[in-house]
Amino acid sequence: MTEPIEAGIRGLIHQFREFLVALRLSPGRCSLALFIVATVVVVSATAAAQVSLNAWNGPFYEAIAQRNFSAFLHELLVFAAIASGLLVFNVAQAWLREMIKLNSREWLTRDLLSEWLKPGRRLRLAGAGEIGVNPDQRIHEDVRRLTELSADLGIGLLQASLLLLCFLGVLSSVSGNLDIWIGGVRLPIPGYMVWCALLYAASGSWLTWRVGRPLVGLNSQRCQREAELRFALVRANQAETTAKFRDEEGEKRRLGLALGKVRGVARRIVHATAKLTWITAGYGWISIVAPIVIASPAYFSGRCSFGGLMVVVGAFYQVNQSLRWFVDNFAMLAEWRAALFRVIRFREVLLMSELGCEQETSAVRLSDFANHPTPHNPTSVKVLDDVA
């Protein structure tokens, strides 16, 4: 029986808030906050440079269309300057991302270790059901995956949001209007490429969610089955080194059963991923030609030059890339959701175990005082009677 994933946005918000609380309470929160602020600055600078690079498409392709060699060379120098800045920003962003992963993993692991290693905690956790069977899996592998995916997805989402805000304005200003005639009445659509990009991305995101949502539960099941297999391997190794009478055939059957469970859930993930790839890969191939097809009415009507067409195509591509962030990262989001659930659920069980122990200890102490009152102190007996 595997752990169910809590349904709904409310459970996700609660678990993500607890994840942030654990990082905020860590001693390394100041350095982690500095890395996050620096990342926001670098990502913002990268977005501004990409806007400049998209604007550069206009004069560059105009120089090609006009066969203006001097203008062509000048634009190549401009490109070199913009590309150099983007290269510096990309390297800085990669370094900051890895430092965020390193720091967040360290302090989240320390938080769980401090709770797990409190006196008597491991014994009480062993009686908490399936969640207490493989704490090493949650502290080591699940924390690693959670922090790494959080950094990758968080920075990616920030970058996609900034690019979307920047290029929606560019696309709206350069795409112009599209006139649709219905029953002899002209219906202008201002900034029609913006609406086309939004509709295209929304349809792809909806299809991705419909097809790929089973991956959330499947990834959680796979983590659990992998932990069970590793636990079985460790137990078999201990039995081999300590037992006087070895049962190789019995261990082989148990290991085969654990491996079969891993293979079963892995096969289901393979099928779900293949179905999701139909959507994500098809969406990507259509995206190559979609902006040119959508911008073709303005170009063939003469309202847009060749350089302007390239600016429109570049802006549409950036908007589409930002809006399809959900499509491209759904598999990672499913894995992140499963890791978040496992880590935060484990941490909550540790904290609840401590709270239950304190309440039990308090009840035992009150019971001891009530059953054995001090005869020479009538005041204390009266207080205990009042409490009872």
Q: Where are the beta strands (DSSP E) in the chain?
A: 177-182, 185-190
Tokens representing residue 375 in the block: 């005869």
Amino acid residing at 371? N
3-state secondary structure at position 217: helix
pLDDT digits (tens, 9 = 90+) for 134-155: 777 778 888 899 999 999 999 9
List the beta bridge partners of residue 178: 189
Q: Are strands 177-182 and 185-190 parallel, antiparallel or unpaired?
A: antiparallel
Neighbours of 380 (CB within 10 A): 12
**How would residue 44 be classed by pLDDT, with cut points 50, 70 and 90?**
very high
**How would residue 46 be classed by pLDDT, with cut points 50, 70 and 90?**
very high
Rounded to 10 deg, the angle between the 192-212 and 248-300 helix axes is 160
Q: Does residue 349 contact residue 97 with C-beta atoms inside 8 Å?
A: no
pLDDT digits (tens, 9 = 90+) for 355-364: 555 444 444 3
What Å distances lie between residue 322 and 81, 133, 195, CA to CA?
24, 41, 14
pTM for this entry: 0.65
pLDDT digits (tens, 9 = 90+) for 72-113: 999 999 999 999 999 999 999 999 999 999 999 988 888 888
Q: Does residue 306 contact residue 66 with C-beta atoms inside 8 Å?
A: no
The answer to whether the Cα torsion of 275, 153, 168, 306 is positive or negative is negative
**How would residue 302 be classed by pLDDT, with cut points 50, 70 and 90?**
confident
pLDDT-wise least confident of 86-90, 128-132, 280-284: 128-132
Rounded to 10 deg, the angle between the 214-242 and 248-300 helix axes is 150
Distance CA 375, CA 182 (A): 98
Higher pLDDT, 43 or 245: 43
Residue 185: φ, ψ to 5°: -110, 130
Distance CA 155, CA 157 (A): 5
Amino acid residing at 87? L
What mean pLDDT is reported for the chain? 78
Q: Which residues contact 278 (CB under 8 A, 6 or more apart)?
A: 211
Eight-state DSSP code of residue 66: T
Q: Does residue 335 contact residue 142 with C-beta atoms inside 8 Å?
A: no
Q: With 50 as the cut, is the pLDDT of residue 63 above it?
A: yes
3-state secondary structure at position 77: helix
Distance CA 347, CA 24 (A): 15
Q: What pLDDT sits at residue 360? A: 42
